Amino acid sequence: DVKVTQSSRYLVKRTGEKVFLECVQDMDHENMFWYRQDPGLGLRLIYFSYDVKMKEKGDIPEGYSVSREKKERFSLILESASTNQTSMYLCASSWYRDQETQYFGPGTRLLVL
């Protein structure tokens, strides 16, 4: 079974802090994604990556950056956390030959005070 893990289930940070969310997948998937989930808005794509050191902006990249130094790991960085970044963050991965099937991690609930 594919396994996608996220470094934290719950995180509390203060406004202005730099925040790192880590995601690791164990199936050698080429594609990795970061979403945020908010009530009434569904999931919105922040960034995705289709290869090591490659990244593409999603629908809401402002205030975020990403890093993919190794194939299995995709990090989401909040350079200076703000209260409007309080949300559930979901990581996903997919195989190049089966791009429509994305495997999701359990999510990180981030609270910015």
Partner 1 sequence: AQTVTQSQPEMSVQEAETVTLSCTYDTSESDYYLFWYKQPPSRQMILVIRQEAYKQQNATENRFSVNFQKAAKSFSLKISDSQLGDAAMYFCAYRSAVETSGSRLTFGEGTQLTVNP
Give contact residues for partner 1 (rule: CB under 8 A). 31, 33, 35, 40-45, 48, 50, 56, 58, 88, 90, 92, 94, 99-102, 104-107
C-alpha–C-alpha distance, residues 1 and 93, integer Å: 13
31 or 85: CB nearest partner 1? 31
| Cβ at position 86, least distance to partner 1 in Å | 16
User: Is residue 96 classed exposed, middle or buried when 0-12, 13-18 and 19+ CB atoms within 10 A define those classes?
Assistant: exposed
| Cβ at position 94, least distance to partner 1 in Å | 6
For the chain, give me the number of helices (H) and strands (E)?
0, 11
| Cβ at position 12, least distance to partner 1 in Å | 17
56 or 79: CB nearest partner 1? 56
CA neighbor of 7 nearest in space, from 46, 34, 43: 34
